[in-house]
Amino acid sequence: MIKIAIMPNNFKEHLSAHEICELISHGLKKGCKKNLKITQIPFADGGLGTAEIIAQNIMAKKYNIFTCDPLMRKIKTHYYYNSQKNIGVFDMAATAGIHLLKEKEKNPQKTSTYGVGEIINELISKGAKKIIIGLGDSATNDGGIGMAEALGYKFFDRYGNVLPKGRFDHRKIKKIIKPKLEPVRVIGLCDGTVPLVGHNGISMVATEQKGGTGKMSYILEKEMIYLNKIYKNIFNYDFRNKKMFGCAGGLAAGLKAIFNAKMLFGAEFIINEYGFFKIISKQDMIIVGEGQLDLKTVKGKSPYFISKLAKKYNIPSVFFSGQLGPGFEKIYSYGVILILTTDPLLLPFHKVKKGGLGRKYIIQKAIELGRILNI
């Protein structure tokens, strides 16, 4: 019997981790004649699905809520809460995620984290003493200002006018009035080390991924530099050269400034906190995956942490990736013995998504892996 754990991330804006698990499992069974014991573990490292994994492990109940989406439109979303432990958990992407927008709507100069603050307010009103927030798959680059507005912070321009709810040029902020908030411990779960500002800061590396332009990245960088001055002068936090605080478009910095939040790698937190290392240690093979394998993968993504841990137990890992980017080969140093690219024709993403080719290629690559296991 060959014991295999399938532990992929979602393929952003295409396939969920649950779907990928099913597709790979189907292909393996079709291609391999040997007896397989397959364990499906849809995984996440801060993006969509993170809260669900944690909620299952802390026995938290799901609650629906109406919040603002990235463009300040009302949507129905959800969070999780354990009333006995007073722990709340949610994905920021559930209210401010890139998947909530159509392609033409994506614009980090117009998107806000206001909905994040609305969910935090709801959890505080329920009596939460600890809130865990997944900080991946965001559509935003507002440094957490939208969240702060929903929490009751008032921002004024040079003329004493209250700045509008939602996204605005943060360089207009000249005065802030803070609300009184109930004390709560906040943990942000990150999938990378990106800082708030600098040549490798969030605005410079992620603007185009969120629908912006190269020119826009420089404008957003100026905003984040200005915000950092506010955080330094008013909240006594200077985020220059500090890793992780650019995550979720700088929402991590906002959480730190307001709640003194602690930032952790999402995948590492989940693996260690909820005992997934025990499952990994008992396998003959681990399968990981995400939409694009590149240098960012080894900077904090779950496939990196999972394959690295598997290597510790002398267990090989296989990586399913939609596409390969610069630096993809770095993953070989962390226990991955084989990379299977599920977009062999390197087609534009919209064609892969629309035509269902992603599903087809994942199954085909899993069949091929199953045939290798027959040897």
218-243 pLDDT, tens per residue?
A: 999 999 999 999 999 999 999 999 99
Which pLDDT does position 12 carry in this prediction? Answer: 81
Task: Provide the residue ranges of all domains of the chain, joining segments of one domain with +.
Answer: 2-42+286-373, 50-267
Architecture, CATH, for domain 50-267? Alpha-Beta Complex (3.90)
Lowest-pLDDT choice from 38-42, 231-235, 236-240, 341-345? 341-345
Residue 305's region, left for phi above 0, alpha for psi from -120 to 50, else beta, is alpha
Which pLDDT does position 357 carry in this prediction? Answer: 60
Return all residues near 263 (Cβ < 8 A) that are at least 6 apart: 135, 187, 188, 190, 244, 245, 247, 252, 256
The CATH number that domain 2-42+286-373 falls under is 3.40.50.10350
Cα–Cα distance measured from residue 188 to residue 53, given in angstroms and rounded to the nearest whole number: 15
Name the nearest CA neighbour of 136 among 305, 241, 309, 12: 12
Cα–Cα distance measured from residue 17 to residue 14, given in angstroms and rounded to the nearest whole number: 10
Cα–Cα distance measured from residue 183 to residue 205, given in angstroms and rounded to the nearest whole number: 34
Which pLDDT does position 345 carry in this prediction? Answer: 54
Query: Residue 205 is encoded by which pair of tokens?
Result: 């590396």
Which pLDDT does position 347 carry in this prediction? Answer: 53
Q: Beginning with the edge strand found earlier in the chain, give each strand of the sheet holding 262-265 in spatial order.
A: 61-68, 74-82, 87-91, 130-134, 185-190, 262-265
What average pLDDT score do residues 342-357 get? 57
Q: Quick one: pLDDT band at residue 269, thresholds 50, 70, 90?
A: very high
Are 274 and 54 spatial neighbours (Cβ–Cβ below 8 Å)? yes
User: Which residues sit opposite 155 in a β-bridge?
Assistant: 176
305-323 pLDDT, tens per residue?
A: 999 999 999 999 999 998 8
Query: Residue 86 is encoded by which pair of tokens?
Result: 């007073």
Confirm whether pTM is higher than 0.75: yes
Q: Quick one: pLDDT band at residue 342, thresholds 50, 70, 90?
A: confident
Cα–Cα distance measured from residue 170 to residue 164, given in angstroms and rounded to the nearest whole number: 11
